[in-house]
Amino acid sequence: MLDIERNPSGLGAQIKGIDIAKPVSDQDFAAILSALGNSGVVCFPQQVIEAAQLKAFAGRFGTLEINVANAFYEPGHPEVMVLSNIVEDGKPIGLADAGQDWHTDMSYSREIAYANVLYAIKVPRRDGKALGRTEFADMRAAYDELPGDLKTRLADKTITHDFNKFWEHMRSQPGSRRPPLTEEQRRRKPPVSHPVFLTHPVTGRKTLYANPGYSIRINELSSQESDEILDFLFRHQLQAKFVHAHEWTEGDVLMWDNLCTLHNARPDYGPDEHRLIKRCQVMADKILNPAFVRTAFERAGSAVPH
Ligand SMILES: [Fe+2]
């Protein structure tokens, strides 16, 4: 039986009573789906796992992304990406500047991402305090608190998301080693459109699916109206009342839901303050299939929670 402790704010939960290294039972799987939908971010503390076990756990939730083109990954496990600022023999062992500003993973992709599963192996600390926290913003609460007329106005609208927007933002940061995207890379990641609001497949709650990292245009509005409303949405969605920060501890397996949260990796540590995290990216192919969700809850002897 899982021990699930939800944060009073509604964003974030801690789940104990499970060993991620072992196969997850149908009951636990349904309970995690439910907790992730209800809390947006869940942490499984004190885990000890290998790359293959991280992959097996994450793979229950959907197809895992393989991004070998420009990523550091675990030998033999291209689904497991290495995030790190550690340099060995002059060579970086992981991607050092991943996700450093507010965004939603893969909103720029036709097939969007459902969840990320990260395993913390090394956490930088200064004066005993953990550095490199990851912040999350709750897009269910952000939707709920939008003015009613804006909810109505944007209900049938779509937003263009462009990979190049965040890439160029990262390139503009001091010390960035990212080259500009080539024509070929841009062709392989063309801008895509998604609805402004999504309905979460597990909870049935509406979420605001816009983010300052990749969203560039509300397609059905004039350029000026689009700029004004996006500017409003970006400020609205990052209000402190919607934000929860995760302070990392070694052994944390942290899982978040990209359908209903934004995240931001805080780069408040130096090159000699080492961080090592392994990550799987779960695509939304399965979770957006109603039969997958229904079957997951039926196997656990329960009904979809909404
Ligand atoms: Fe990210």
Distance 85 CA to ligand 1 centre (A): 16
Question: Cα(105) to centroid of ligand 1, in Å?
Answer: 5
- 210 pLDDT more than 90: yes
Please state, rounded to an integer, the average pLDDT across all residues of the chain.
94
Q: pLDDT tier at 154 (50, 70, 90 boundaries)?
A: very high
The H or E element that residue 169 is part of is helix 163-171
Ligand 1 centroid to Cα of residue 134, in Å, is: 10
pLDDT of 117 higher than 90: yes
CA 228 → CA 88, 138, 217, 218, 233, distances in Å?
46, 22, 10, 10, 9
CA distance 125 to 95: 19
pTM of the model: 0.95
Is residue 204 pLDDT above 70, yes or no? Answer: yes
* pLDDT at residue number 227: 98
Looking at residue 83, its pLDDT comes to 93
Distance 98 CA to ligand 1 centre (A): 7
Q: 55-98, pLDDT tens digit by residue? A: 999 999 999 999 755 679 998 999 999 999 999 999 999 988 77
Q: What is the 3-state secondary structure (H, E, C) of 185-245?
A: HHHHCCCEEEECEEECCCCCCEEECCCCCCEEEECCCCHHHHHHHHHHHHHHHCCHHHEEE
Question: Distance, CA 1 to ligand 1 centroid (Å)?
Answer: 31
| Ligand 1 center–CA 263 separation, angstroms | 6
**Residue 25 C-alpha to ligand 1 middle, in angstroms?**
28
| CA 213 to ligand 1 centroid distance, Å | 10
Q: Per-residue confidence at 177, pLDDT binned at 50, 70, 90?
A: confident
| pLDDT for 151 beyond 90 | yes
Q: How far is the CA of 103 from the centre of ligand 1 (A)?
A: 6
| Tens digits of residue pLDDT in 253-273 | 999 999 999 999 998 999 999
pLDDT band, residue 162 (cuts 50/70/90): very high
Rounded Cα gap, residues 72 and 136, in angstroms: 24
Q: Determine how many CB atoms are found less than 10 A away from the CB of residue 163.
A: 21
Tell me if residue 293 falls in helix, strand or coil: helix
Cβ neighbours of residue 32 closer than 8 Å, sequence gap 6 or more: 2, 15, 24, 42, 255
- pLDDT bucket at 30, cuts 50 / 70 / 90: very high
CA 194 to ligand 1 center in whole angstroms: 18
DSSP state of 27: H
**Residue 174 pLDDT grade (very low, low, confident, very high; cuts 50, 70, 90):** confident
Strand-pairing partners, residue 84, are 276
pLDDT over 90 at 279, yes or no: yes
- Tell me how far the alpha carbon of residue 176 lies from the centroid of ligand 1, in angstroms: 17
Instruction: Indicate if the pLDDT at residue 201 is higher than 70.
Output: yes
Q: What is the pLDDT of residues 106-115, one digit of tens each?
A: 999 999 999 9
- 284: which 2 tokens? 């939304």
pLDDT of residue 257: 98
Residue 218 has pLDDT above 80, yes or no: yes
